[in-house]
A and B are shown apart, each in its own frame.
Chain A
Amino acid sequence: MKLSLKSKIWITMLSIVLMFAFFVLLYFPEQQQKALLSNYNTEVQNLSNTVALGVNIALTEQNLEGVETAMNYVKQNKELIFVSIVQIEDSTKEKTILQTVPENYPVKVNTTSNDTMIVKVTPFITPTMKGEIMLGMGTHKIVESKKEIRNTSLMVCFIVLVIGIFIGFLLSKNITVPVLALRDAALKVGEGDRTQQVSSRGQDEIGELGRAFNKMVKALSLAESERKAAQEQLIHSEKMASLGQMTAGIAHEIKNPLNFVNNFSALSVELLEELEETTDAEEKLEIMESLKSNLTKITAHGKRADSIVATMLQHSRGTAGEKVPTDINQLCSEYTDLSFHGIRATSREFNCTITKDFEDNLPLINAIPQDLSRVILNLLNNGFYAVADRVKKSEDPAYKPEVRVTTMKKDGSIFIHVRDNGSGIPKAIKDKIFEPFFTTKPTGEGTGLGLSLSYDIVAKQHQGMMSVQSEEGSYTEFTIQIPI
């Protein structure tokens, strides 16, 4: 049975009070009455014996006044109902009432005790007659004292009830209130509120419990903030690591357009000088065409470098990015290149066929480009790592590493698939790869946060889904689904 602590306290208190009331109201009065009745019976019997003795002496002495005196002995008693002298015929045993006080009381020879009266009989024998004294006394006194006992009992019961209720309240206040406060605080702590503290003034076990609880919450909060700080530090280093890897890719990506900007502008200066010197109209026209084409190229490559720098800035910025309409194809393309050049920069031998299979005219989707780009970069990096790993492990000269990035629109969502034909993911760890800090890379090469952060970015920030399919030694394909 499910009972609250409060109910248990009240049930215990009420049971004690009820038990007490039963004893005080029913059992004790009953016992008292029995004792009183037994005393009273003896008392009446004694009185009857005394009267019988007096009558016996008086009759033996033929002293009628003495009989009167003996009868009057009980006349003063307030409880007296009647007293009779009964004569018993010797031969027939027939009883006759000789005298009764008070005189008009209707006594019968067979009158016995009832609820309101106790009748006692004492036989006597004198030389002249054989008889007995019948004494009837009222129980009024006993009824009175019974009432008195009951009243007192009721009063005591009431006082005990009041004290019981008072103790109940006190117990509730001292036990259930702090316990309930502790429960509420524990629930809130469970929900993540680490500021909960309970009153811990009491010197008893409940006070100790409160102090222990407060200590625990403080320790928990401290541990949590330490963990959070460590996690933030790790997330930061993950970001820095991917930024570092990108930097090499970015240097390459910037130097290429820069190569054109520098050289085409230098060439243009030369062409201008030639233009000034030449007199041939046809040649002039030719030079001017070249100049025009050079300037167009300078602009195009300048823009290209600009967009690369913008991308890098986006990536290094925090996560407080806002959602903007984003061209998924462009984002995937840029970051695939960045990832590839990044890997190339650190591992010269690395080679891989990259296939970009992008569906044309994808609608723009609302996304946080700097975050989503981290996901793409991360998946590509993993893909390149996987094919490089397979190259390292397998001796098969026919193996051609390949990473394929596919985008498509389907059922109101945009799908991005990143598939590599690398070493694949063993079944045993497939469920763990999205867990934070899970990594198969050697210490120092991965924080184990890449995929878990990517998952968060896709699922939480973009309300999308991220899943993986893989066959060990064959392929791995990550799928990102983002609703349009």
Chain B
Amino acid sequence: MTDVQLDPTKRGYWTSDQEVRWCPGCGDYGILAAVQFLHAELDVKREDTVFISGIGCAARFPYYMSTYGMHTIHGRSPAIATGLAISRPDLNIWVVGGDGDMLSIGGNHLIHALRRNVNVTILLFNNQIYGLTKGQFSPTSEVGKVTKSTPMGSIDRPFNPISLALGAGATFVGRTHDLDRKHMIEVFRRAHEHRGASLVEIYQNCNVFNDGAYESITKRDVRADMMIDLVDGEPVRFGADNQRGVVMRDGRAQVVDVADVGESALVVHHESSHDTTPAFAMSLLATDNVSPTPFGIFRAVEGPEYGEYSEMVNQQLLTANEQSGPGDLKDLLRSGATWTVS
């Protein structure tokens, strides 16, 4: 073992001995690096950390972490992680999957994990395509997408993962992208620190089957005009000269020139607002890959009304123990009517 593998503050400590087998140039490499670098900064132990995934390219992720891990079956990772989280609230649990895994076959488990607010950090790698099965449209592909299974163009309307998560009552919802390690690390850190279920959508490039899907938003030279950085407590502004902003008009978020409306008219972003309406409106600001798109943390709420699930499960165990005393098997078997035959 080399020295870096013994030092938890080094990326190498969090890297497994398995060869990474994503396609060269895949956005997943950047995400893996960000997660490993983040763990080198976090105060968590390797043995207390678990990565759980379903099926898909992204789902190979746990093999590349030196932590505990489970590469499960298609779509079910939120459910499997839920069982682990309920029974082991002491663990640092991450769920990793793609848009097909999480939103198609596993859509049900995702929304229920979010509504229950189980303490897991969910990374949704959204590349708007099925990669492992070689290029069919996904539940986030745009209408009209021509793929092997849709030669005349997809007629399915896509999910907006942020809107879906907010609709499911998620207490933490964020978005980042695979080209900005620093941004990823910060959003992942916040998601990890959040007590409850966190969902982070990652715009991830599939350079083989859907190359450049997000280029018009995330490419370095267009970012300033296309990426809207959500900052808690600040008016929502963006642009190379910060000249553009977002207002709420008729219940919808709309992009305006600040000069036209004045800064005071801009939406002030409050990530901890109980009301999900502004965050929901913000999630719908961009419904394609060519409009200015918000990034950062859409929602992050904690407090008594957003109880964390495993904590509540375990609190009921304590309460039952207080009320009835520790379970006694001998008594249990005699809890119904009994009689003696002599």
A binds B: no
